[in-house]
A and B are shown apart, each in its own frame.
Chain A
Amino acid sequence: MSGRAMRWDETLLPPLMALAIAAVVGDLLILAFGASPGHVFGLLFEGTWGNAYGFGQTLYKTTTLVCTGLAVAIPLRAGLFNIGAESQIAAGGFAAALAGLALPAGVPWPIAAVLCLLAAAIGGGLVAAVPGALRAKFGASEVIVTIMLNFIVLAFLNWVVAAKLHVPESLHTPEIATGGVPRFADFISIFHGSAANVTLFVALALAAKMWWYLFRTKQGYELRAVGLQPEAAENGGVSLGRTWFQAMLIGGAIAGAGGINYVLGYKHYYEEGFATGSGYIGIAVALVGRNHPVGIVFAALLFATLSQGGLAVNAVVPKQLMDVLQAVVILAVAVCVPEVRRVLRAAGGRAA
């Protein structure tokens, strides 16, 4: 459907090249801070993949980033730039917490969890529906609207929590009575203490579902056509406005669903700023993952590793180093992917 099967080298070499470049740049940065790259990378590995706890934390962060990455990628496939995952995930988490607070404690957790998930998706979807509708109806730039909404929605949620819902001397709501989902640590004791929870499977299921939606359904066919060539899609009987609206709605709902990772899986309450930055890193995840659900899962894993690793090496190098390293990864991918592909195609063409 999406053209011929991709060549393995075109799929694998560009990201490998980008990682190699990022690693070398990282080495030089660490040296510039007067630390030893071997030591820092060792700590980074040890703190993320080297033990079950660190790995669990990495998986926890991966869960969030898969959701925000998809939330950026789906609209981007339709030609829209969703900068709003930041507020969509917050709204989703808030809606999940509200649902969890509203449900009586007697409701069995699986039912409550599903209801909270639905609430989260609706919460995130509503926030994304605004730019979607404004774009569809009036052609308003979704970039500007989503950025503005980030400010408005986050400020509003913070106000509601701070003024109406918070536990005294905290920035969070009361704990939800039911709907909390099991952590991995509940089944596998070595994950003890890590926040990784079964929400990971929800995120992976969403990624699989989105692959199916994009590449196997009529709706996905239309959505991608709108993103690639809106005029041709329009001529093919596709309503641009409706497709844009749907793409934003789906993206927002997925971002919102990402909110349950914290609210149901980790702390069981909504706290101001629980996913700060994950919406923006989602943009990087979508970019590095080439807007493909499979790529996004791997990109999310990469950025989660850098984020968790950043904490582990924080005692040795400033945390800004990890921020810089993330930026280097994004730049390296942006440079490598088209460039390496071009070289490979040229080489392939000569051989043919």
Chain B
Amino acid sequence: MRKLLVVLGGLVLLHVALLFARPKGADASPATKRVRVGIVFDLGGRGDKSFNDGAYEGGERAIRELGADVTFIEPGEGSDREPGLRLLAAEGMDLVMGVGFIFTDDLNKLATEYPKTHFAGIDYAISTDSTGKVIPPPPNIAALKFREEEGSFLVGALAALAGGSKKLGFVGGMDSPLIRKFEAGYTAGVKHVCPDCEVIAQYAGVTPIAFRNPSRGKELALSQYQQGVKVIFHASGSTGLGVFEAARSMNALAIGVDADQFREAPGHVLTSMVKGIDAAVYDAIKRAQNGTFAGGIIGFGLAENGVGYVYDANNKAQIPDAVRAKVEALKAEIIAGKIKVPSTT
């Protein structure tokens, strides 16, 4: 008994002593007058090599180039999203961002509670009233919306022109309006350059797990390749890793999404439909810093360089100049408003 109390006392003393330990470089005091930004990721978001990592990159770039003070938070469970945002807002951050449409409700709530704080939501979901009219977000929220359909249109056209088959593939993650936007643009792009081409579109599931299911992705991709498809465009998070694996094993092509995914399967990635999340995040931080931040819907399409496709040394060989020229022409037409890209299937 006494021995146990001694051990207990010893442990407590050790703990108290360790509380004063300060490793070198820890807790450097923050410099004053820097823009303070908080970013909350989606559940298990970091490391997805596309969406959340893009936001992280944007934040890191703001730290490097603008000297911004950026705090990142990864919530542990669904009910931690709002507390995460609230924690940052309560600390008096200049800008608080939520990465993903799932933050929409939480951002709305906090924006009314903290009217002086700027908020930004990537893929913030715009709601409509019963007559279909858009309900504008609170004035201190910037809804960073990407027109994925425009980028998808271009990679669809590119796939039809350079793919060498009349059958084109699409693998979506969770069947949802957001991913349907990718499919709609992609299909429109294919049909625009090749009216008798066929698009086989499949989804990995109807729940968010469909974004994290590479084996399902591989299964879908293999079946599409076996039906004669030569190129598959995926919009499915890490499920797409399975699509790339299938492309490797079938010696076929795939198109990446969100970021340049060339590295996932060198030689088998025709291009990637890139979403400039890092740029959008960086841009929002920059505006917050120089006082030009404004709420409302901020669209990122081809015109704003918010979406696009990859054409660089890695895939030059796979894209003939004629094709490249045609795609660039389409891009110009979309920016000019001559082509209206549909956002629903």
Residues of A within 8 A of B (CB): 9, 13, 16-17, 20-21, 23-24, 27-28, 31, 34-39, 41, 47, 53, 57, 60-61, 155, 158-159, 162-163, 167-172, 193, 195, 262, 266-267, 271-278, 307-308, 310-312, 314-316, 318-319, 322-323, 340, 343-344, 347-348
Whether B27 sits at the interface, judged by CB under 8 Å, is yes
Is B208's CB under 8 angstroms from A158's CB?
yes
Is A36's CB under 8 angstroms from B174's CB?
no
Is B208's CB under 8 angstroms from A273's CB?
yes
Given contacts A16-B8, A158-B206, A193-B86, 20 further A-B pairs with CB under 8 A are A23-B12, A27-B15, A31-B18, A37-B19, A39-B22, A61-B79, A158-B208, A159-B206, A159-B207, A169-B104, A170-B102, A195-B79, A271-B78, A272-B208, A274-B78, A275-B77, A277-B77, A278-B77, A314-B74, A340-B4
Write 25 A-B pairs (CB below 8 A) sorted by A numbering. Answer: A20-B8, A20-B11, A20-B15, A24-B18, A27-B18, A31-B21, A34-B23, A34-B25, A37-B18, A38-B21, A53-B86, A61-B79, A168-B125, A169-B125, A170-B101, A193-B90, A273-B43, A276-B43, A277-B77, A307-B76, A311-B73, A311-B84, A314-B74, A323-B76, A348-B1
Residues of B within 8 A of A (CB): 1, 3-4, 7-8, 11-12, 14-15, 18-23, 25-27, 43, 71-80, 82-84, 86-87, 90, 101-102, 104-105, 113, 125-127, 174-178, 206-209
7 nearest CB pairs, A to B: A169-B125, A158-B207, A27-B18, A20-B11, A38-B19, A315-B71, A273-B78
Residue of B whose beta carbon sits closest to that of A193: B86
Is A273's CB under 8 angstroms from B77's CB?
yes
Min CB–CB distance A207 → chain B (angstroms): 21
- Grouping DSSP codes into helix (H, G, I), strand (E, B) and loop, the A interface class, with mixed when no group exceeds half, is helix
A-B contact count (CB 8 A): 153
Q: Which of B11, B78, B90, B177 contacts A168 (CB 8 A)?
A: B177
Min CB–CB distance A211 → chain B (angstroms): 27
Is B8's CB under 8 angstroms from A17's CB?
yes
Is B206's CB under 8 angstroms from A13's CB?
no
Min CB–CB distance B97 → chain A (angstroms): 14
Known: A20-B15, A23-B15. A315 touches B73 (CB 8 A): yes
Is B26's CB under 8 angstroms from A35's CB?
yes
Q: Which of A163, A168, A311 contacts B87 (CB 8 A)?
A: A311
Is B19's CB under 8 angstroms from A41's CB?
yes
Is B101's CB under 8 angstroms from A169's CB?
yes
Is B26's CB under 8 angstroms from A312's CB?
no
Is B4's CB under 8 angstroms from A343's CB?
yes
Is B79's CB under 8 angstroms from A31's CB?
no
Min CB–CB distance A37 → chain B (angstroms): 5
Is B207's CB under 8 angstroms from A262's CB?
no
Residue of A whose beta carbon sits closest to that of B74: A319
Specify which chain A residues have a CB less than 8 angstroms from the CB of B3 in the assembled complex.
343
Alpha-carbon gap, A318 to B209, bound state (A): 23
